[in-house]
Amino acid sequence: MTRKKEREQEIITISPNRRPYGVRLALLLETSTKFNIQGDCVLLTSQDYIIRLIPNTTEPDILSLPNHQCWDILVEGFSTAGEAEKIGLKVALGLLWGAVSRQFAAKLLYSTPLPCSVYDRTKSKGLMMTGHATIEIGLGISGIVGPLESIISSKSPADLKLLIAMELFASSRLETTARSRFVGMVSSLEPLADQQKYQHPELDRLISSFKNELSSSTIPSEIANIIKNRIDSLKIESVSGAIRRLVRQLLPNEPESLEIIDEAYNIRSRILHDGATDSDLELKGREVEAVIRRIFDEIIKSEYLQ
């Protein structure tokens, strides 16, 4: 640890008024995943701010799921609330990337609009820690430090669409049924589906012509207006089309991956709209999971590991 970093962390610890803001996150781990540490710890990263892990046994989710682990993650050492929130989002993304890349289920617990909440360390005494200098990390937590470091050390801000996509994916394995797990996992691709508008004058002309015909028809105006709004959506590609384009773009040499995602999206639609299921849902779920992990890996490499 450099002297400059030691000095900054000393200021954060001893003089909270100079770096008054912190940010809190809560992370729930699946039953089979345990951080191999006892009590509180401080993560060793390259950043000047301090990242603390504190066992949380009071969250309602933990009280109802006694075999799970929950941790409060406190990131301390910011001059402004805005800076704290910015880094808090990157820490959230880094934690989820750790779950995705290390293949374990995790869930961010929050009731606020964002998965992290900013607090004033000089006022929120309940969240402050004093006199603690543990910096050893057990084997369980070491697997998440690398992915977390890769995100928080990057100059790129947290991608909010990627954040919600990873959140859906990482928490899907905590669902209790195969169908709910499958739906949650496949749905994690939708925030990444950037639907593009079709640029074709003839399409615009046809849609405009049909809308004019609707206006002069005997169809009740309430129904005609609904149809007009729906027909405008034909100018934009579907979510499933945007997902297919995403897979082709990120995994260009994997036509089988595109087939897996196509089938998965069809199964998801049947589950949601028809209440159906699939006899090979567990197997297909594992195939989909592997493809989505590679998609996330490609995005992380392009946005944060340059």
What confidence tens digit (pLDDT) does each residue in 78-126 have? 999 999 999 999 999 999 999 999 888 889 999 888 999 999 988 854 4
- pLDDT for the residue numbered 103: 87
Q: Report the candidate in 289, 291, 268, 293 with the shortest Cα–Cα distance to residue 278.
A: 268
Whether the per-residue pLDDT at 225 is higher than 50: the answer is: yes
- Percentage of the chain exceeding pLDDT 70: 87
- pLDDT for the residue numbered 34: 67
Identify the band that residue 146 occupies on the pLDDT scale cut at 50, 70 and 90: confident
Whether the per-residue pLDDT at 184 is higher than 90: the answer is: yes
What average pLDDT does the segment 144-169 reach?
A: 93
Write down the residue that tokens 């999206």 correspond to.
265
CA 94/CA 226 separation, integer angstroms = 43
Whether the per-residue pLDDT at 290 is higher than 80: the answer is: yes
**DSSP H helices in the chain:** 3-14, 60-64, 81-101, 139-152, 160-172, 178-187, 201-215, 221-232, 239-250, 255-274, 281-304
Identify the band that residue 134 occupies on the pLDDT scale cut at 50, 70 and 90: very low
β-strand pairing of 50-55 with 41-42: antiparallel
Whether the per-residue pLDDT at 295 is higher than 80: the answer is: yes
- pLDDT for the residue numbered 131: 33
- Percentage of the chain exceeding pLDDT 90: 46
Per residue in 3-58, pLDDT (tens digit) is 666 677 778 888 888 889 999 999 988 766 667 777 788 887 888 899 998 888 77
Whether the per-residue pLDDT at 241 is higher than 60: the answer is: yes
Q: Across 170-174, 258-262, 279-283, which has the greatest mean pLDDT?
A: 258-262
- pLDDT for the residue numbered 126: 42
For 250, residues 6+ apart whose C-beta sits below 8 A from its C-beta are 294, 295, 298, 299
